[in-house]
Amino acid sequence: MSSHYLDVAVGLSYTFLAVSLLCSATREAIASLFQTRAKVLLDGVLTMLHESAARPRLRGVWPSVLRLLRIEGGFGLDKLDDQSLTAQVMQHPLITGMAQQGRMPSYIPSAIFARAFVSTLTTRYGKEQTAVALLNSVGNQGLTRTLLALMGEGPGDAAALENAVRIWYDTVMERISGWYKRRSQFVLFLVGLFYACVMNIDALQLSQRLWNDSALAAQLVQKAERVTPAVAPAPDATPLELTKQAKAQAQTVQALPIGWPSARFENISGFYAISAALFFAVLGWIATAFAASLGSPFWFDGIGWLLALRGTGAKPETTTTPAPAITLPSLRKTE
């Protein structure tokens, strides 16, 4: 393969790596400010306890503002029914003690959640009740059948119920990780689209410029050869730390051959010519946003393979670099 083709590919990959790191830092800052992980965890608990019909009541702009300002009531537990098992379990001291006032924990160990669940039931219906009697008292047939199926034919005491809740909780949390990953990738795409428009990171125009300017392509290749392993922002970092990371990445991105004014709109006039230029600009921005949504580890691995194919740089590892922590481990961090 021609070296110039590889130079252009490496230059684009380096650009997408820088943009994806900027977008990841911005996304993590947003998640930390609005306590997104805790909100997703609460949605998962509602689903787990077969109360998912109440999820729309906890949405809205105002609750998000309350969570941003760390004001009590941002998670909307007061909007649930008086008999809501989710509200009572999530307000148990074992759980509320894991977060600061106005917040909720973004991760709850299964043993703690199971103990809080059983403690809530025994407080409401009595400690001498069997597991079957406790579940029947709740009046939630879906939850009762689920937990009784997990308990099987074994003992029907509170310890067996607690173990069943622990198993069910771990199972649902695996699904919650998938929810959060898909949501985070969508947010990453939107953040990437925002930066692409504001900073005019047009993937199509950049490709053309790198193709026509060998010196510029070689310059980006040199930068790519000095790239260190891409590390996603730590989910447990403070908003201030994440903002500093985003600012540093923005300075790196601004040093790239991008920005306004755009050469795409130079020396053109007329409605159709401007419309065509705008159309291709939007395509370039969308391509950049999609590339950013793939994540920095993807582009770091891509740079490694391209440099190896080009004959420069270190030989890439045979294993894939782990993806950014947007699955279950990231839900285990406390906002």
Please give the Cα distance from 253 to 256 (Å, whole number): 5
> What's the chain's length in residues?
335
Range of the domain at 16: 3-32+182-331
pLDDT (tens, 9 = 90+) of the chain, 335 residues, equals 458 888 889 889 988 988 988 898 888 888 888 888 888 999 999 999 998 888 888 888 888 888 888 887 788 888 888 788 999 999 999 998 888 777 888 889 999 999 999 999 998 888 878 888 888 888 889 999 999 999 887 777 888 999 999 999 999 998 888 888 888 889 999 999 999 999 999 999 999 888 988 888 888 888 888 876 666 566 566 666 767 777 777 777 777 778 888 778 887 888 888 899 899 999 999 999 999 999 888 988 888 888 888 775 454 454 444 444 333 334 444 44
49 and 137 together in one domain: yes
- Give me the pLDDT at residue 81, please: 80
> Angle, nearest 10°, between helix axes 203-212 and 214-225?
110
Please state the φ and ψ torsions of residue 153, each to the nearest 5 degrees.
-95, 10
Q: Check: pTM over 0.95? Answer yes or no.
A: no
Please give the Cα distance from 184 to 153 (Å, whole number): 41
Please give the Cα distance from 3 to 46 (Å, whole number): 55
307 and 323 together in one domain: yes
Please give the Cα distance from 221 to 199 (Å, whole number): 22
202 and 141 together in one domain: no
191 and 324 together in one domain: yes
One-character DSSP codes across 131-186: HHHHHHHHT-HHHHHHHHHHHTTS--SHHHHHHHHHHHHHHHHHHHHHHHHHHHHH
Do residues 143 and 151 lie in contact, with contact meaning Cβ atoms separated by under 8 Å?
no
User: Cα dist. 215→200, 251, 313 in Å?
Assistant: 21, 22, 19
Please give the Cα distance from 97 to 93 (Å, whole number): 6
- Give me the pLDDT at residue 25, please: 86
**Which ranges constitute the DSSP H helices of 199-324?**
203-212, 214-225, 239-254, 271-293, 296-310
197 and 225 together in one domain: yes
Cβ–Cβ contacts within 10 Å for residue 24, how many? 28
Which H or E run contains 87? helix 85-90
Please state the φ and ψ torsions of residue 61, each to the nearest 5 degrees.
-70, -40
Tell which of 178, 210, 239 closes a domain.
178
- Listed as own residue / partner, the contacts of 3-8 with beta carbons closer than 8 Å and 24 or more positions apart are 3/310, 4/211, 4/214, 4/217, 6/306, 6/309, 6/310, 7/210, 7/214, 7/217, 7/218, 7/220, 7/221, 7/310, 8/207, 8/210, 8/211, 8/217
132 and 42 together in one domain: yes
133 and 243 together in one domain: no
Query: Looking at the 3D structure of the chain, how many domains does it have?
Result: 2
Please give the Cα distance from 286 to 202 (Å, whole number): 8
Please give the Cα distance from 51 to 54 (Å, whole number): 6
Cβ–Cβ contacts within 10 Å for residue 314, how many? 9
- Give me the pLDDT at residue 253, please: 77
Type of residue numbered 290? F
28 and 38 together in one domain: no
Tell which of 178, 200, 218 closes a domain.
178
Do residues 13 and 316 lie in contact, with contact meaning Cβ atoms separated by under 8 Å?
no
Do residues 103 and 35 lie in contact, with contact meaning Cβ atoms separated by under 8 Å?
yes
Do residues 31 and 235 lie in contact, with contact meaning Cβ atoms separated by under 8 Å?
yes
Type of residue numbered 104? M
Do residues 113 and 165 lie in contact, with contact meaning Cβ atoms separated by under 8 Å?
yes
82 and 147 together in one domain: yes
243 and 322 together in one domain: yes
Tell which of 130, 153, 178 closes a domain.
178
Do residues 217 and 4 lie in contact, with contact meaning Cβ atoms separated by under 8 Å?
yes
